[in-house]
Structure 1
Amino acid sequence: MTKVHFIAIGGSVMHQLAIALKNKGYQVTGSDDEIFEPALSNLRQAGILPDSTGWDAGRVTPDLDAVILGMHAREDNPELIKARELQLKIYSFPEYIYQESKNKTRVAIGGSHGKTTTTAMVMHALQQQHQSFDYLVGARLEGFAQSVNITDAPVIVCEADEYPASVIEKRPKFHFLHPQIAVLTGIAWDHINVFPTYEIYKEQFAIFIRQMEPGQVLIYNEGDPELAELVTATGAHLRLIPYGLPQHTIENGATRVFFGQESASLEVFGNHNLLNMHAAKLVCNELGMTNAAFLAAIATFKGAAKRLELVAKNDHGIIYRDFAHAPSKVKATMEATKQQFPDRKLVAVLELHTYSSLNAEFLEQYQGALDAADTAAVFYSKHALEIKRMPDLAPELIAQRFGRNDLHIFHDREKLETFLAAQNYRDTNLLLMSSGTYDGLDFSKLKELLSNN
C-alpha cells in the first residue's frame, strides 16, 4: 500500500488532496499546528484528522513513499528536517499532482484571472456529458464533493496557479503540471510580494509556455495584447488556438451565446465569463466534445462560488458578492454588471485585503477600476494592515490612486454598514468585491437592504 504523509495537512486544497488519496486506497497521515473548519470536519469524517496538533518528527518514518509539503510549513519544520535526513521523496502539492497524473491527459488552466471559472466550466461540461476525469480547482463547486479528486480517470483538469509551490520550492505551481492542453486567459500583474516587478511576473508565463512539449495545445486569449505578444515570441513550437469574445446577445438581463449554428441561454453573464466559456469550449473540443454537447451542458452552469454570487434579488435590484480583488478582475466584474443591466444604477464596494492591494505603490494599478460604478466605495481593515505589518493608508491617497474624488472610503465596518443602509436600491444593483470578509460583515442580513426600498 502506498504510504503518504502530509506536512501542513490543514490547507484548503492540501486537505482535499489528502482525502482524495485516502479515497483512492492510500495510507494517509498528516500534521499541522492549527486546523480550522471546514478542513477540521472534513479530515475527521475521512478518518485522517491528526490525533493532536503540532509537529512531531516521529510521524516521519523510513517506510513513507512520499512526503507532501504544504505552503504553511516553514524550512525549520522538524518533520521536514527528518524527511530530508531520511532522504525521503518530498513533493510540493503540484509536484505530487504531476506524479499522480503522469499517464493522464493533463489540462492546465492558467492566467491572472478567470482560472477558477474556466476550470469550473470545463469540469461542469465533462460531468454533464458523463466523461470520466480527475480535477484540481481552487473553489468548492456545486455538484462536486471536493475540490481535488485523484482516481484512475484518463484526464485531469487543473487550475494552474502561478503562486510558489512550497517553502522549499519557490517556482510557481503551474510550472510542475506539464500539460498536453493548456489555457492562458490573460496576464495582469499580481502577487507583488512574490513577483516585485511586472517583468518578473510575466516571465513565469513565458517559462510555462517554453516548457510545453512541441505540438502540444495552447489555447490563449488573443484579446490580451501582452499575452498575444508573449505567445508569438515563445509559443512557435506549439499548436496555438487563439480565442476571443464569442457571438452573443443580451435581452432583459439574459445572455445567449452562439457557436456556429448552435446556441444556448446562460445563467452567467459578462464578457469575462463569455471569454472563459470560449476557452472552456475549446478545451472540451480537444477532449472530444462537440459544440452542441458543450452548449447543452454549459446552459446549466451557475458559476463558481463567490464569482458574481447572488446574495439577494427582487424585481428592481440585485446584490452580488464577488471574489474580485486584483485590478483587472475588479474592472471586468464591474463592466459585466453594468453591461448586463444598463438601465440600473450600480453601487460598488471593494475591500482592499490582499498584500498587493494594500500596498501604496501597487494601488496605482487600480486607476479607473471603479469608474463604471455610479456610487463607489473602498473598505480596508486596519487590522489587516497590522497583520501584514504594512503602514497605514491615507484615504486621500486611496481616492487619488483610484482616480475618483467622490470615492467613499471606510475602515470601520459599522460605518460601511450605515453607508449601505443609506443607499436607495430602487433600480439599483449592489456589488461587493473582496477576497476577505469586510471585517466580519453579515452577508445574510444584506437582503434587508432590498426589502427596505
Structure 2
Amino acid sequence: MRLHILGICGTFMAGIALIAKQKNFDITGSDAHIYPPMSTLLASHNIPIFEGYDVKNLYPHPDLIIMGNSMTRGNPCVEYVLNQNIPYMSGPQWLAAHVLRNYHVLAVSGTHGKTTVSSLLSWILAAAGLNPGFLIGGLAKNFDHSACLGKGDFFVIEADEYDTAFFDKRSKFIHYHPKTLILNNLEFDHADIFPNLDAIKMQFSYLLRTVPSQGLIICPQRDRNIQQVLSQGYWTPIEYTGNEKNKEVIWHTALLKADASQFEIYYKNSKQGEVHWSLIGEHNAANAISAVAAAHHVGIHPQKAIAALNQFQGIKRRLEIYKKINGITLYDDFAHHPTAIAATLSGLRKKIGKKRLLVILECGTHTMRSNRHQKTLGPSLQEADKLWLLWPKQNRNNNILQNISVPLSLCDSVDEIVQEVIKVTQTSDHIVIMSNRGFDNIHKKLAQALAA
C-alpha cells in the first residue's frame, strides 16, 4: 500500500513516515522546504521526498494521502486530492487506526516538557527491556531516531494540543486514546488557534474523557489550571506529583543541589533513590518524576527507572551545549514561552553562579509576538545579564518591550546580533540562544565569530 505524506518534513510527520516504513508501507512525501535534519533522516530510510507541492508527484495516485497539520485549502495538492476524491486522513488519525490501537498508549501532554518527559519515559522503558514504540517531537541522545514502532506492548507518544488538520480542529491528542496519561502542566499558548486559556482547557477536558477507568492520570497537585480541568469531570484514578511531602502527593522530589542536577525521588513518602544527571532545573526534576510514575504504572520498579534516569544523556536543543570556545560556553535551547525561558535560565543561573549569562532570543511564535506575554516575558528573563532580541522593526511590540528590565539590544538581523555579541563577550561567559526555529543558523555563525 502506497502512502503519500503532505508536509513530511515536520518532526511529527517525519516520525509517522518512519513508523509507516517499519510497517512495510510504501512511503513518499512532499514538503515546501526540504532541509536537514529531517531530509537526511528520511533519505537514510530510503523515503523519497519532493520539494514543493506539484500535483505530478501524486501520479500514479497513492492509495492514501496523509495530510500534515500545515496543509491548508488552496494548496495545489490539497485541492487535487479533494477534486480527485483520493482517500485522505490526518497524521493522528492514521496513527490511531494503524498503530496505537495495538498498544498500551502512554501519552505525555501539557504546555511544557512534553518532549523531555516522552524521551525520559521511552528511555526508561527501553532500559527495562520493554522495547517500546515511541513518537517524540525531538531527538533524545540515548536514541538515534525520534520515532520507532517497537516490538513490545507499549507506545509512548508526545501528545500535542495543537489542532489536527484543516478539516479536524480538535487537538491531536484526542485521537490517541491513552491508558496512561501525563498532564505535565497547563497554561496559555498557541494564540494562532486558541482565543483564550478556556479553549485549551476544553480540549484537555475532552482528552480526560478518553482515558479508561482502569487507566491512570499523572499530574502535579499544585497546577491550578489542571485542577480546573479535572473539576469538569474525570473517570480515572489520579496520582499526584510534587516537590514536597503531603498526604495527597504520591510522588515527590527533594533537591540535593540547588540547580536540581541531583535530587531524591519518593513514592508514598518512601525514598526510592537518587538522580544524578547532566540536566538542570527544578522543571526537569518534575519531568523526571512524571516519567517514573508512568513507568511504574506499566510495572517498572522506581529504583529501576531511577537507574535509567542516571544514564540519560539529554535531548537535542534542550539547553544543549553547542560548543565551548575560548572559555565561553554556547548553548542551544528550544524555549519559546516565558515559563520555559524562566525555568531554563533559573536552572542555569544556579549552576553557574555569578558568571555572566548572556541571552539571545528570537520571538519566533505568533504567541510570543502578541500581547499575550507582555507581563511575563520581562520577568522570565531576569536572570540574564544582557539580552539580544531578534525582532525586525516592523513587527515590534512596545507593550512587551517596556516590561524587559535587563540590558537589551533590539536587532533586525542575525548578523547584527553576532557583531554585537562578539564585542562584549568575556572568558567564562555563558551564552544561551533561545528559539524554536532555525534562527538563520546563528549558532554556527556566532561560534565561528567567537573562534576567529
TM-score, normalized by length of structure 2?
Answer: 0.87
Deviation (angstroms), 1:370: 0.8
Of the structure 1 ranges 266-275 and 348-357, higher mean CA displacement relative to structure 2 is found in: 348-357
> Contact 2:378/2:400 (CA < 8 Å) preserved in 1?
no
Change (3 A) 1:250 1:16: same
Aligned-partner Cα distance in 2 for 1:211–1:428:
48
User: For residue 432 of structure 1, what is the aligned residue in structure 2?
Assistant: 433
Deviation (angstroms), 1:211: 2.9
Which of 388, 392, 395 is residue 392 of structure 1 equivalent to? Answer: 395
Taking the TM superposition and a 5 Å limit, the aligned residue runs for 1:55-134 are 55-56=55-56, 58-60=59-61, 64=63, 66-77=64-75, 80=78, 89-99=87-97, 100-134=99-133
For structure 1, the residue ranges without an aligned partner over 5 or more in a row are 383-390
Instruction: Give 2:60's aligned amino acid.
Output: R
Instruction: Give 1:341's aligned amino acid.
Output: I
> Contact 2:326/2:427 (CA < 8 Å) preserved in 1?
no
Does residue 373 (structure 1) correspond to residue 384 (structure 2)? The answer is yes
Aligned-partner Cα distance in 2 for 1:163–1:373:
31
> Contact 1:360/1:393 (CA < 8 Å) preserved in 2?
no
Aligned-partner Cα distance in 2 for 1:10–1:430:
29
Change (3 A) 1:117 1:51: closer
* Residues 321-378 of structure 1: CA deviation (Å, up to 9, x unaligned): 2110111111111111112233433222222111111224543442411112233332
> Contact 1:33/1:55 (CA < 8 Å) preserved in 2?
no
Deviation (angstroms), 1:266: 1.2
Aligned-partner Cα distance in 1 for 2:212–2:259:
46
Taking the TM superposition and a 5 Å limit, the aligned residue runs for 1:397-412 are 397-402=399-404, 404=405, 406-412=407-413
Change (3 A) 1:373 1:252: closer
Aligned-partner Cα distance in 1 for 2:310–2:389:
34
> Contact 2:358/2:384 (CA < 8 Å) preserved in 1?
yes
Instruction: Give 1:238's aligned amino acid.
Output: T
* Residues 409-440 of structure 1: CA deviation (Å, up to 9, x unaligned): 22233332233223354554322211134433
Instruction: Give 1:247's aligned amino acid.
Output: A
Describe the SS at the equivalent of 1:356: helix
Describe the SS at the equivalent of 2:300: coil
Aligned residues: 436
* Residues 93-149 of structure 1: CA deviation (Å, up to 9, x unaligned): 111111111121001101000000011111122222221111110112223232222
Describe the SS at the equivalent of 1:124: helix
Aligned-partner Cα distance in 1 for 2:423–2:79:
56
Does residue 279 (structure 1) correspond to residue 279 (structure 2)? The answer is no
Describe the SS at the equivalent of 2:170: coil
Deviation (angstroms), 1:399: 2.7
Aligned-partner Cα distance in 1 for 2:340–2:259:
25
User: For residue 264 of structure 2, what is the aligned residue in structure 1?
Assistant: 257
User: For residue 38 of structure 1, what is the aligned residue in structure 2?
Assistant: 37
TM-score, normalized by length of structure 1?
Answer: 0.86
Change (3 A) 1:50 1:305: closer
Taking the TM superposition and a 5 Å limit, the aligned residue runs for 1:161-176 are 161-176=160-175
Deviation (angstroms), 1:397: 4.1
CA RMSD between the two structures: 2.9
> Contact 1:112/1:186 (CA < 8 Å) preserved in 2?
yes
Instruction: Give 1:223's aligned amino acid.
Output: R
Aligned-partner Cα distance in 1 for 2:403–2:259:
35
User: For residue 249 of structure 2, what is the aligned residue in structure 1?
Assistant: none
User: For residue 224 of structure 2, what is the aligned residue in structure 1?
Assistant: 225
Instruction: Give 2:262's aligned amino acid.
Output: T
User: For residue 247 of structure 2, what is the aligned residue in structure 1?
Assistant: none
Deviation (angstroms), 1:317: 5.6
Aligned-partner Cα distance in 1 for 2:368–2:301:
41
User: For residue 250 of structure 2, what is the aligned residue in structure 1?
Assistant: none
Aligned-partner Cα distance in 2 for 1:361–1:103:
41
User: For residue 211 of structure 1, what is the aligned residue in structure 2?
Assistant: 210
Does residue 340 (structure 1) correspond to residue 351 (structure 2)? The answer is yes
Aligned-partner Cα distance in 2 for 1:321–1:314:
14
Instruction: Give 2:257's aligned amino acid.
Output: I
Deviation (angstroms), 1:20: 2.4
Aligned-partner Cα distance in 1 for 2:150–2:228:
38
* Residues 275-334 of structure 1: CA deviation (Å, up to 9, x unaligned): 000101001111211111111111121221100101234897633221101111111111
> Contact 1:221/1:228 (CA < 8 Å) preserved in 2?
no
> Contact 1:321/1:432 (CA < 8 Å) preserved in 2?
yes
> Contact 1:348/1:430 (CA < 8 Å) preserved in 2?
yes
> Contact 2:418/2:445 (CA < 8 Å) preserved in 1?
no
Taking the TM superposition and a 5 Å limit, the aligned residue runs for 1:288-299 are 288-299=299-310
> Contact 2:336/2:363 (CA < 8 Å) preserved in 1?
yes
Aligned-partner Cα distance in 2 for 1:34–1:438:
15
